Amino acid sequence: MKNLSDKEAWEGVADCISCTLRNSVLFAGLEEGDFDKIHQPIDLYTLPAGSTLYRTGDKADRLYTIRSGVLKLIQYLPDGTQRIVRLIRSTDVTGLEALLGQPYQHDAVVLQPTQACSLPVSVVQALSQTNPKLHHELLKRWQRALEEADAWLTELSTGSAKQRVARLLLRLVRDQATSECELFPREDMGAMLGITTETTSRTIAEFKRQSLLVETEPNKYLLDIRNLEFIADN
């Protein structure tokens, strides 16, 4: 995993007022006057796949809202093995533990090229005290993170390998307009599902033979939603 310096990844100061994602990210409830109260820059970063946004134990002084891309949150087990406990995608917020004064609880590693806005925790705390909409949005983000953690535990850590892979594929396209998705490396998929890389590879190969996955371009696939749902539920 590559550590990029802020200088390498920095794209400039984010223009929150003109942001095309403003209505779906953390600052959705802010009015233009609220932005006048922000006295620290909100920086925009572009991160290549394999780079690290933050590491477990780092001082948490920023939240990050994701404009595009995908990151994985990694937790390490006592024996040193890693488990991917959640995916962070467009419009998600990560690093919420910073609001509690805690260090970061995971490694946040980029799976697909990502743009992220860096929000100083002091700015978010100050605005949330004067803006009920932002405070409510923060609570919604906490709830979403809890629901996602529960879903990973119940959906992706139980059942056969075929069921787990099918459920993961369905989650990848859950909020999309199409059934096309880009697959992650098999090692990462195995770490998400608690199965070996070899088992993951065999299952994906079997799904391809059964036309449950149809490749449209390198590493991009159309999913047979109906039959994958049957496998996931049975």
The span from the CA of 33 to the CA of 31, in Å, is: 5
Same domain assignment for residues 105 and 182: no
Residue 175 lies in a domain: yes
User: Is residue 4 predicted with pLDDT exceeding 50?
Assistant: no
Last residue of a domain, one of 97, 129, 149: 149
User: Is residue 166 predicted with pLDDT exceeding 90?
Assistant: yes
Same domain assignment for residues 128 and 52: yes
Q: Is 225 helix (H, G, I), strand (E, B) or coil?
A: helix
Please report, rounded to a whole number, the percentage of residues in the chain having pLDDT higher than 70: 82
Residue 154 lies in a domain: no
* Count of structural domains within the chain: 2
Residue 133 lies in a domain: yes
Same domain assignment for residues 11 and 123: yes
Q: The domain spanning residue 91 has which CATH number? A: 2.60.120.10
pLDDT 10s digits, 130-145: 777 777 777 787 788 8
Q: Is 133 helix (H, G, I), strand (E, B) or coil?
A: helix
Question: Which residue range(s) make up the domain with 172?
Answer: 161-233
Is 0.85 topped by the overall pTM? no
Higher pLDDT, 199 or 219: 199
pLDDT 10s digits, 75-98: 888 887 888 888 998 888 899 899
